[in-house]
Amino acid sequence: MYLSHLLLHNFRNYIRETINPHPQLNLIQGENAQGKSNLLEAIFLLGMGKSPFNARSREIIRWGQEWFCLKGRVQRRDHSLEVEMTYKRDGSREVTINGQREENISQLLGRINVVLFSPEDLQLLKGGPSFRRRFLDLQLCQMSPRYFYYLQQYRRIIQQRNMLLKDIGSGHTPGRDDLSVWDGQLIQVGTGIISRRQEAVNKLAPLAAAFHRKMSGDKEELTVKYRPSIAGGGERSREEIAADFQRVLTAARREELKRQYTMVGPHRDDLAISINGKDVRTYGSQGQQRTAALSLKMAESHHMEGEMGEQPILLLDDIMSELDARRRQFVFAAIQGKGQVFISGTEGDEFAPGGWGRRYSISQGRIGVG
């Protein structure tokens, strides 16, 4: 699929700009602080309904304005699609898909598939488990509305269950029977999330390893393993996951009543990522961490393509400046013919002379072609 038209209106530092991107390679060039990342953020937002950095609409609206509007037209294999969104300063928003108003923002998911790699993604390797859970959730939500629904439900269950644990802890007893009702729901919905994450990691791990191997000139073996908080991971059926969940929850009961929050479940999952057997977070060099993050993102893109039958739009924010010449060459070769790609950078196209579909140069929120 590819974005054929984009309008930005009062979005960050853009007053009103439109572009008609190339179906394949788009180079976004500009000096620092001109609007390159903002442009990629806008495309991500059209796909996900929210900013990749969890920015609120009032941060995104151009300073001094009351609303921003984004419009995107996308060509998919067998149909085209127009998404328009207006977000106001008071937090209200209006989203239309093909001119039809959608009340629920989740209707956007899966319409315009995006994979964003930004400098912040180094947190995948350096940061806490929540970054790695988010990595899985973002792709799974785009591939499966059901997964998104599970996540929403799961959040609600955790909230309710934590409230109940607090009530019991402070002597107000609705009782432990109620707790076991919530346990049942926690396990049911949680098992759905865990089995989908497990399935995703099984597909992602070999893809990421293959990419990383090539990037490192066959020197490094990247291993990605799912670490669910309720068990050791590996291949497990839904029944086994549910049984594990029940067992771990029972074992944690006393501690949970003491601490008054839900201590086990998908909200505590993690990924274990290592290179040549050594944990990347603890032992990886900067370059290794960067390469591993990129490998994970490229794997995400391939994974989505495999599941959806179409390549997602790839947004690569400022990756080339961090890579040595050999790795740049490799990345450039890897994205050729890989659907629509937007790559931003402060340099020109020195790293990839020729072969660009379209070049954009950005200066103070104005987009020029060529």
Contacting residues toward ligand ATP, per CB under 6 A: 12-13, 30, 32-38, 59-63, 318, 346
**CA of 19: how far to CAs of 6, 364, 369, in Å?**
5, 16, 9
d(CA 245, CA 264): 8
> 41 vs 269, which CB is nearer to ligand ATP?
41
Q: How far is the CB of 368 from Mg ion (least distance, A)?
A: 17
For residue 223, the minimal CB distance to ligand ATP (Å) is: 31
Nearer to Mg ion, 22 or 36 (CB): 36
Q: Which 8-state DSSP code applies to residue 320?
A: G
| Residue 37 sits in the site that holds Mg ion (CB under 5 A) | yes
Which residue, 99, 311, 124, 95, is CA-closest to 208?
124
Nearer to ligand ATP, 12 or 22 (CB): 12
Q: Which stretch binds Mg ion (CB under 5 A): 34-42, 82-90, 197-205, 226-234?
A: 34-42
Q: Which is nearer to ligand ATP, 61 or 205 (CB)?
A: 61
Q: How far is CA 315 from CA 3, 17, 31, 118, 345, in A?
A: 12, 19, 18, 8, 12
Q: Give dist(CA 210, CA 270) in Å, integer.
A: 21
The interface partner of residue 35, options being ligand ATP, Mg ion, none and the CB cut-off 5 to 8 Å by kind, is ligand ATP
Distance CA 264, CA 262 (A): 6
Alpha helix ranges (H) inside 15-82: 36-48, 57-60
Give CA torsion, residues 102, 62, 70, 41, to 10 deg.
-100
Q: Which does 34 bind (CB under 5 to 8 A by kind): Mg ion, ligand ATP, none?
A: ligand ATP
CB of 358 to Mg ion, least distance (A): 19
* CB closer to Mg ion, 12 vs 111: 12
With respect to ligand ATP, which residue has the nearer C-beta, 42 or 141?
A: 42
Min separation Cβ 335 and Mg ion, Å:
19
> From the CB of 17, what's the least distance to ligand ATP, in Å?
12
Q: Which is nearer to ligand ATP, 64 or 354 (CB)?
A: 64
C-alpha angle 51-57-59 in degrees, rounded to nearest 5: 90
Query: With CB under 5 A as the contact rule, which of the stretches 32-40, 58-66, 67-75, 107-115 interacts with Mg ion?
Result: 32-40
- The number of C-alpha atoms within 13 Å of 109 and in the hemisphere containing its C-beta is 18
Q: How far is CA 121 from CA 39, 124, 260, 318, in A?
A: 17, 5, 33, 11
49 binds, among ligand ATP, Mg ion, none (CB under 5 to 8 A by kind): none
The listed partner (ligand ATP, Mg ion, none) that binds 293, CB under 5 to 8 Å by sort, is none
Binding-site ranges for Mg ion (CB under 5 A): 36-37
